[in-house]
A and B are shown apart, each in its own frame.
Chain A
């Protein structure tokens, strides 16, 4: 499944993630006209995101933009572009083939399509949250907003979860949640003998 994902499904999944990310950004205040997400030829992602006035008007931001050096008035910006490595968005999609592989290998083919669809939707939502965390990290890094203190710790934790935990652990947990047969097999190994005892009891009756 990983090979199928890498060779065939990766580009469509990235395109879907890009589209979802762009639609989400457009829902942000002031983001409807300025938000764009593009994937470059090297698979690098470029986020064009709206900049809140509160951030744009900060002294440090203005200094970074060159307002103080020029001696002019405040520089107005509506949006900014940040570019990030393509490996993270790729990582955010790996949970899907893993989930499909677990479901196909697990016992219990009843309602497979429903489980597939529900799990895929949940993991896709996680991928979208992960890409949002990634974009926030890129923007925060540009403005040096989230490097220290509690916000920095939270941002680091969010990225750690998004890139190191959710893509790998997410499929397993979602599969265990949605597939009762798999859950029974792993969490309650005595389920098999108990299930085998049921017909015998029924025979006696």
Chain B
């Protein structure tokens, strides 16, 4: 009879600890993104992302040029500005906050952060390219995919990455 409360108690503590730390780390991360002196770093990253996107599109036979944070198609004039919120940083902050708040060893956290962040940025890169083509096809669909579908997918993706990390982490010990 006593085994149940003692085994449930550390689990409850872990969940409670996570629920307290996660919003704190999240707030710190989002504030970090908003701090004015970090803005050039974030914009520089976005610019790099746009330039790589243009290079990859050209490699696959498409037509794209990068102008600062604007990705454009010179052949039809379509241009798409990649804002700071569209560079995947927000979602990366979300994942970082979740992984850092979860009770695990630093090496496990490090692996999760590296793999998770890489996955997020690779998928965001695909998102930018898909939106670039969708925008040339139909502006309404572009808006729908940009603001609602991709953003929702990203949050659910982050949740899935985190869940996968937690499961993988607990597999050897169980």
Contact = CB atoms under 8 A, between A and B. Distances in A.
B14 interface: yes
Contacts of B151: 94, 167-168
Contact of B154 (A168, A189, A194): A168
Interface in B92-147: 94, 102, 143-144, 147
Contacts of B155: 98, 168-169, 171-172
Contact of B30 (A91, A161, A187, A190): A161
B81 interface: no
Contacts of B11: 188, 190-191, 194
A117 B173 CA distance: 39
Category for how many chain B residues contact A: 35 or more
Contacts of A185: 163
A153 interface: yes
Nearest to A157: B34
Contacts of B173: 190
B174 A188 contact: no
Interface string B8-30: 10010011001100000010001
Contact of B149 (A2, A156, A165): A2
Nearest to B23: A173
A143 interface: no
B144 A6 contact: yes
A198 B14 CA distance: 20
Contacts of B170: 189-190
Contact of A94 (B18, B90, B152, B159): B152
Contact of A183 (B15, B26, B167): B15
B3 interface: yes
A40 interface: no
B14 A188 contact: yes
A78 interface: no
Given A187-B15, A193-B174, A201 B162 contact: no
A142 interface: no
A6 B140 CA distance: 12
Contacts of A186: 159, 162-163, 166
B107 to A, nearest CB: 18
Given A6-B144, A94-B148, A168-B152, A187 B34 contact: no
18 contacts: A2-B149, A6-B144, A94-B152, A98-B152, A156-B34, A157-B34, A160-B85, A164-B85, A177-B19, A185-B163, A186-B159, A187-B166, A188-B11, A188-B15, A189-B163, A189-B167, A194-B7, A194-B8
Interface of B: 3-4, 7-8, 11, 14-15, 18-19, 26, 30-31, 34, 36, 85, 90, 94, 102, 143-144, 147-149, 151-152, 154-156, 159, 162-163, 166-167, 169-170, 173-174
